[in-house]
C-alpha cells in the first residue's frame, strides 16, 4: 500500500481514513441514484471496471456458497456472482428502487433463477446471523458519514460466517496524477460526485473485528478506487 503523497493531488495525509465527511442524507442518496440509474453503467464502465474485476477475483467465488451483495446497484457485479454460483444462495440489496430495477433487467437477460434482489438498508440487514460465506460491497462507504460506518460494519460482521470474506470497493484518496480533480469536484458540490468522496477503510475494518488480508489501489481515467479483502475474525 503506498503511503506517499502525490505531487499532483496535494493530499496532506494519506494515512487518514477520511478526508472530508459525507454530506448527503439517505433520502437524498436514494433520490439521486434513482435519477442517475439510467446513466450509471456508462460512468462505471469508464471508471470502475478494473476495481470491480479485481474485487471479484479476490472474492474467489465457488459454486454452492451463500453470497450477499450490499448496494448491488445496477447488478454489474451481482450478475457475475449469480453466474459463478448457480447452485448457491445469491442475495442482492440496494436502497434505490431505480438501481434495483436496472439490476433486475440485467439478471432477467441471464435467465437464471438462483437469486433474490430486494430493497434493503445496510444499517439493518434483514437476514440471520452467520449466514453468508462472503459479503461484497462496492462504492457505498464513500457515501456514508464516518460516524455511521461502524454500525454498518457490525452488521456485515454479524451476517458473515466465522472466517467469512468481506470484499469492499470504494472511491479512495488519490495517490497518482489526475485523481485530485474528483476531490475538488466533491468540495464544489457533493452531488457532482454522486455524493462520493475518498475514504480509506482498512484501519476501521481492523477496529471492527476484521483482518485485512490485502488493500489495493486502482486508478481508472483518473478515478481512484481501493479494493479490500478482509476476513471476519474470531475475536469479540
| Lowest mean pLDDT across 50-59, 173-182, 224-233 | 173-182
Q: Read off the pLDDT of each residue in 25-43 and give the average, rounded to a whole number.
A: 91
Judge whether 152 and 127 are in contact, CB under 8 Å: no
Judge whether 97 and 119 are in contact, CB under 8 Å: yes
More confident residue, 191 or 103: 103
Neighbours of 209 (CB within 10 A): 19
Q: Read off the pLDDT of each residue in 59-66 and give the average, rounded to a whole number.
A: 97
User: Residue 49: pLDDT above 70?
Assistant: yes
Provide, rounded to the nearest whole percent, the portion of the chain with pLDDT above 70.
Answer: 91
pLDDT at 76: 97
| Lowest mean pLDDT across 3-17, 99-113, 176-190, 215-229 | 3-17
**Which set of grid coordinates corresponds to residue 97?**
428502487
Q: Read off the pLDDT of each residue in 81-95 and give the average, rounded to a whole number.
A: 97
**Which set of grid coordinates corresponds to residue 19?**
478526508
Measured distance CA(162)–CA(54) in Å, rounded: 23
Q: Read off the pLDDT of each residue in 158-162 and give the average, rounded to a whole number.
A: 97
User: Residue 60: pLDDT above 80?
Assistant: yes
Query: What does the chain come to in residues?
Result: 236
User: Residue 82: pLDDT above 80?
Assistant: yes
Judge whether 75 and 102 are in contact, CB under 8 Å: yes
Confidence band (pLDDT; 50, 70, 90) for 25?
A: confident
Residue ranges of domains in the chain, CATH in brackets: 26-232 (3.40.50.150)
Amino acid at each position: 500500500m503506498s503511503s506517499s503523497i502525490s505531487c499532483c493531488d496535494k493530499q496532506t495525509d494519506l494515512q487518514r481514513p477520511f478526508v472530508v465527511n459525507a454530506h448527503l442524507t439517505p433520502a437524498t442518496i436514494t433520490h439521486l441514484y434513482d435519477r442517475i440509474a439510467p446513466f450509471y453503467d456508462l460512468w462505471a464502465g469508464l471508471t470502475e471496471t478494473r476495481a470491480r474485476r479485481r474485487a471479484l477475483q479476490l472474492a474467489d467465488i465457488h459454486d454452492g456458497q451463500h453470497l450477499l451483495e450490499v448496494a448491488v446497484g445496477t447488478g454489474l457485479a451481482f450478475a457475475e456472482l449469480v453466474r459463478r454460483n448457480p447452485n448457491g444462495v445469491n442475495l442482492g440489496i440496494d436502497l434505490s428502487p431505480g438501481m434495483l430495477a436496472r439490476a433486475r433487467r440485467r439478471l432477467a437477460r441471464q435467465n437464471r433463477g438462483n437469486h433474490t434482489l430486494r430493497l434493503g438498508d445496510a444499517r439493518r440487514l434483514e437476514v440471520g446471523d452467520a449466514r453468508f460465506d462472503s459479503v461484497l460491497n462496492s462504492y457505498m462507504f464513500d457515501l456514508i458519514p464516518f460516524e455511521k460506518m461502524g454500525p454498518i460494519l457490525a452488521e456485515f460482521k454479524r451476517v458473515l460466517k466465522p472466517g467469512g470474506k468481506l470484499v469492499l470497493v470504494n472511491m479512495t484518496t488519490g495517490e497518482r496524477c489526475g485523481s485530485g480533480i474528483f476531490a475538488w469536484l466533491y468540495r464544489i458540490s457533493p452531488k457532482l460526485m454522486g455524493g462520493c468522496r475518498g475514504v480509506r477503510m482498512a484501519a476501521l475494518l481492523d477496529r471492527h473485528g476484521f483482518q485485512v488480508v490485502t488493500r489495493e489501489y486502482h486508478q481508472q481515467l483518473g478515478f481512484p478506487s481501493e479494493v479490500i479483502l478482509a476476513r471476519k475474525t474470531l475475536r469479540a
